[in-house]
Amino acid sequence: MLKINHRRELVEQEGRLHAIKRGKRGKFHFENMPWLKCLLKVIPKLIFVGELGRKNVLDIITEHVEVKLINLPDEFDEMVILFITDLHIDCMDELGEEILAAIRGHHYDFCILGGDYSFGWGRDNEKARKLMEVIIRQIKSNGEVFAVLGNHDRFSMAQALDGFGVRMLLNDHVCLRKGDNSVFLVGLDDCHYFGADDLDSAVAGVSKNSLKILISHSPEIYEKAEAYGFDLLLSGHTHGGQICLPNGTAIVKNASVPSVFVKGKWSYKGLRGYTSRGAGSSCIPARFFCPPEITFLTLKKL
C-alpha cells in the first residue's frame, strides 16, 4: 500500500510555491523566478518563432544508449530499459500519441518512468491522469513499469499510477532476479522541490554486493548516490535546458549540478549516470535546440 512521505505531505498542504535554495546558485530555478516563465512565453512570440517552438515539442527523438557497468551480472547483459521522464503529458493534446509512436516497434525488458507527469503543478490534475493511463496501457503490454514522482506531481498521481498497474518506488526498491543473480532498482521521491527523498529507507534490505540502479527525478542526488555505492543513476528534470543556445548550451539548468549532468551520459567517480532531456515540455510548450527524447538504455557488462 502506498504511503505519503511526511515531507511531501507538508509541502502539498502549503498551497503555495516555496523557494528552493542550494548554495550560491541554488536560487536560480524556475520556482524562484516567476518572471522568467512570463519572459519565455513572450519572447518567442515577439520574434515570431512561437509556432516553431511548439512544433519542436512534438519532435521526439528515440535515443539508443549503451551503459557499460563493471558489476553487471552475465544474466543481465544486453538488458534493455525504456526510460521515459518529464512527460508533462497534458502540455499539448498531440503529445501522448507522439510518445506512443516513438515507442512502437521497439523491444525493451521493462520501463522506468522518471516523474513529472503533469504540465501544471500544485494541484490535482485529472486530465494528466487519464492521459497517463493511455500511455501506461501501451507500455505495459511489453513489460513491467516502475516509476517515481517528480516536482510537478502530487501524491494523487502516484495513487493513480499504482491503480494502473505501475510499481511505484517512493523511497523503496525492487529486486530483479535472473537465475542466481539479481539487480536492485531503487526509487526516490522528489529531491528537488519536495525534499521528500529518503535514501536510507530506500536501500533498507538492499544487498551491498548486488548491482544497484537509482531512479531519482533530479540528478541533484548524484554525490549521495555515489557515496551509497550505486552503479547507475537515471534522472531527468532538467529537460536538457529545454530552451538552449544554438550550440545546445542550457540557458537555465533548473538543477544545482555542474553542466555535464544536465543531459546525456556522465560519470562521477565510480557512478555512471544518464540524464534525459525529457519527453515533454515544462512551464511553456516550447523547445529550441534541445529536442525531447525517449530513451532505450542497453546495459552492457564491462
pLDDT tens, residue by residue, 36-62:
565 565 555 544 466 888 899 999 999
pLDDT band at 253 (very low <50, low <70, confident <90, very high): confident
In sequence order, what DSSP letters do the residues of 254-296 get, joined into one string? -SSS-GGGSSEEEEETTEEEEE---SS--SSS--BS---EEEE
| Helix, coil or strand: residue 111 | strand
| Segment 153-172 mean pLDDT | 97
Judged against a pLDDT cut of 70, whether residue 18 lies above it is answered with no
Give the span between the Cα atoms of 187 and 185, in whole angstroms: 7
pLDDT of amino acid 26: 53
Question: Alpha helix locations (H) across the chain?
Answer: 6-14, 34-46, 50-57, 95-103, 126-139, 155-163, 199-203, 222-227
Q: Which residue has the higher pLDDT, 169 or 22?
A: 169
- Tell me the three cell numbers of residue 66: 549503451
pLDDT of amino acid 46: 45
| Segment 175-192 mean pLDDT | 95
**194: left (phi > 0), else alpha (psi -120 to 50), else beta?**
alpha
pLDDT of amino acid 40: 60
- Tell me the three cell numbers of residue 163: 491503480
What are the two backbone dihedrals, phi and then psi, of residue 180, each rounded to the nearest 5 degrees? -95, 0
* pTM assigned to the model: 0.91
Q: In what side-by-side order are the strands of the sheet with 232-235?
A: 172-178, 181-187, 211-215, 232-235, 271-275, 264-268
* CATH 3.40.50.170, domain 20-301, yes or no: no
Judged against a pLDDT cut of 90, whether residue 34 lies above it is answered with no
| Helix, coil or strand: residue 146 | strand
pLDDT of amino acid 32: 60
Task: Tally Cβ neighbours within 10 Å of residue 142.
Answer: 16
| Segment 109-120 mean pLDDT | 94
pLDDT of amino acid 256: 87
Q: Which residue has the higher pLDDT, 6 or 24?
A: 6
Judged against a pLDDT cut of 90, whether residue 212 lies above it is answered with yes
What are the two backbone dihedrals, phi and then psi, of residue 241, each rounded to the nearest 5 degrees? 110, -30
Domain ranges in the chain?
20-301
pLDDT band at 146 (very low <50, low <70, confident <90, very high): very high
pLDDT of amino acid 47: 47
pLDDT band at 107 (very low <50, low <70, confident <90, very high): very high
C-alpha distances in Å from residue 55, one per residue of 59, 131, 248: 7, 20, 18
- Tell me the three cell numbers of residue 286: 516550447
Judged against a pLDDT cut of 70, whether residue 172 lies above it is answered with yes
Over residues 217-245, the pLDDT tens digits come to: 999 999 999 999 999 999 999 999 998 99
| Helix, coil or strand: residue 9 | helix
Closest CA to 171 of 144, 151, 190, 143: 190
pLDDT of amino acid 25: 52
pLDDT of amino acid 254: 83
Over residues 256-293, the pLDDT tens digits come to: 899 999 999 999 999 999 999 999 998 888 999 999 99
pLDDT of amino acid 128: 94
Return mean pLDDT, the chain: 90
pLDDT of amino acid 149: 97
- The H helix count followed by the E strand count for the chain is 8, 12
What share of the chain has pLDDT > 90, as a percent? 72
What are the two backbone dihedrals, phi and then psi, of residue 120, each rounded to the nearest 5 degrees? -80, 175
Strands 264-268 and 271-275 come out as antiparallel
Question: In the beta sheet, which residues pair with residue 147?
Answer: 113, 168
pLDDT of amino acid 10: 86
Strands 211-215 and 232-235 come out as parallel
